A and B are shown apart, each in its own frame.
Chain A
């Protein structure tokens, strides 16, 4: 699964740390997601989408390998 968290963050002009605090995870988690090293759970994805006021598909997308 790929995501455009970095873009979304840039649009909102917030740091990884800001996003981490807002959704209640560590900075390492945000970093790992942006690098594609970690696929968030449904709960976390929904929290992120809610925070950015976007739908899930606008932030997360399936890859061919999935």
Chain B
């Protein structure tokens, strides 16, 4: 298996494949393993802006969800049933479903797409922001548990579906903004 790793073409570029020395290959294979640790769990950078625009639209749609719901744009007939001897159509309103789905989807895309220059320092800042976002999100939830009850708490929970991602996006961008300002001041 190890041999396979060393000699598999995947680990070599053209120039490096010329290294026939076993030791050289081994060292290179190890070097490559280190490089392979580069982040591969992020979305490409070009997604960020369109996702941000779509997120904005989704949030606006979320604020207008009552109107959209009333207008019945996303009301879909799901079946028919017999009621008092008459066939009546059954409808399902997908407004909240679609809006909730797109807010979360686009929040994830905005939060976890690569930076223009994605390096290890930005990775550290991302991790840092994510930890703090989690703290802020859940510590505020701990407090909100004691303030809101019953149906009011349902609204808190609905908000909480999105807040972790949003707090992260905000913290991460504040950090980036501060760093940019720092280097601008030095020019």
Contact = CB atoms under 8 A, between A and B. Distances in A.
Interface of A: 16, 20, 24-29, 31-32, 38, 40-44
A29 B183 contact: no
Nearest to B38: A43
B179 interface: yes
Nearest to B34: A43
Interface residues of A, dominant DSSP: helix
Interface residues of B, number: 15
A31 B119 contact: no
A20 B121 CA distance: 12
Contacts of B115: 26
Main secondary structure of the interface of B (DSSP, over half): helix
For the complex of A and B, list the 7 residue pairs with the smallest distance between their C-beta atoms, beginning with the closest: A29-B121, A25-B119, A26-B117, A28-B179, A31-B183, A41-B120, A29-B119
B124 interface: yes
A14 to B, nearest CB: 15
B164 to A, nearest CB: 25
B29 interface: no
Given A43-B34, A43-B35, A16 B121 contact: no
A27 B119 CA distance: 10
28 contacts: A20-B117, A24-B117, A24-B119, A25-B119, A25-B120, A25-B121, A26-B115, A26-B119, A26-B121, A27-B183, A28-B122, A28-B179, A28-B180, A28-B182, A28-B183, A29-B119, A29-B120, A29-B121, A29-B122, A31-B179, A31-B182, A32-B179, A38-B124, A40-B120, A41-B120, A43-B120, A44-B119, A44-B120
Interface of B: 34-35, 115, 117, 119-122, 124, 176, 179-180, 182-183, 186
Contacts of A31: 179, 182-183, 186
B1 to A, nearest CB: 25
Which residue of A26, A38, A41 has the most chain B CB atoms within 10 A of its CB atom? A26
B121 A38 contact: yes
A20 B124 CA distance: 17
